[in-house]
Amino acid sequence: MDVSSLSASPFLPMVGWSAVLLVVHVLLQAFTTSAEAARTLGASWNPGPRDVGFAPSGKIAGRAARASGNFRETYPAFVALALALALKGEASGWGVGGAWLWFACRIVYIPLYLAGVPYVRSLAWVGSMLGLAAMFVALVS
């Protein structure tokens, strides 16, 4: 395998940007949960040892936690497929289209979930799954 063709793959920057999206999810969940915990348990909970467990019960913190969990369910599949397509040298067509579809839908999913928008949020999730399916088709074809 030619290493220069691997480094030119459009999938590698997408994997990098998907890591940024993961960090956004983690920070969003952390900030909303910490803010809720401070209101419920006091300001000393967050910097303290957190011996008292805390599960967010507020709408926004709970939604941020669920959206983050949902993202982390599909994220390993995206990374695996993107890296496999980069190794395969598939730099166009279904693979790239599927990767962009997954990425765009995962970005749109965050505000939709936080706002509690029904149906459209589910369509964004379905779109991300179709993106993974397109990547898989490109990989095995």
Among 25, 27, 134, which residue's Cα sits nearest to residue 77? 134
Q: Whose CA is closest to 110, among 14, 33, 27?
A: 27
Q: How many domains does the chain have?
A: 1
- So what's the pLDDT on residue 3? 58
How far, CA to CA in Å, does 18 sit from each of 26, 33, 110, 115? 12, 22, 13, 22
Regarding pTM above 0.85, the answer is yes
* The predicted structure's pLDDT at residue 5: 58
Which portions of the chain are predicted below pLDDT 70? 1-7, 45, 50
CATH of the domain at 89: 1.20.120.550
Task: Give the structural domain span for 45.
Answer: 3-140
What per-residue confidence (pLDDT) applies to 49? 74
In this predicted structure, what is the pLDDT of residue 37? 79
